[in-house]
Amino acid sequence: MNLDKFDLAILGVLQRNARASLNDIGAEVGLSSTPCWNRIKRMEAAGVIRGYTVEIDPASLGYMDTVIVHVTLESHSEETLYEFGRALASIPEVLEAFLVSGDYDYYIRIAVRDTRDYERLLREQLYRIPGIRHSKSSFVLRRLKETPLPLG
**Binding site residues, a second copy, CB under 8 A:** 1, 3, 11, 14-19, 46-58, 60-61, 63, 66, 68, 81, 85, 88-89, 92-104, 106-107, 111, 136-151
Pair 139, 145: CB distance under 8 Å: no
Task: Please report, as residue ranges, which positions from 83 to 122 form the binding site for DNA (by CB under 7 A).
Answer: none
Which residues neighbour 3 within 8 Å (Cβ) at sequence distance 6 or greater?
11, 43, 48
118 binds, among DNA, a second copy, none (CB under 5 to 8 A by kind): none
Binding mask 36-55 for DNA (x = CB under 7 A): -xxx----------------
Rule CB under 7 A: say whether 32 interacts with DNA. yes
Nearest alpha carbon to residue 23 among 15, 4, 31: 31
The C-alpha atoms of residue 63 and residue 5 are separated, in whole angstroms, by 39
Among the listed ranges 35-43, 73-81, 82-90, 140-148, the one in contact with DNA (CB under 7 A) is 35-43
Task: Please report, as residue ranges, which positions from 9 to 28 form the binding site for DNA (by CB under 7 A).
Answer: 21-24
DSSP reduced 3-state for 129? coil
77 binds, among a second copy, DNA, none (CB under 5 to 8 A by kind): none
The CB-of-2 to a second copy minimum distance in angstroms stands at 10
Question: Which of residues 116 and 142 has its CB atom nearest to a second copy in the complex?
Answer: 142
The CB-of-34 to DNA minimum distance in angstroms stands at 4
DSSP reduced 3-state for 76? coil
The C-alpha atoms of residue 96 and residue 56 are separated, in whole angstroms, by 16
Nearest alpha carbon to residue 131 among 95, 82, 93: 82
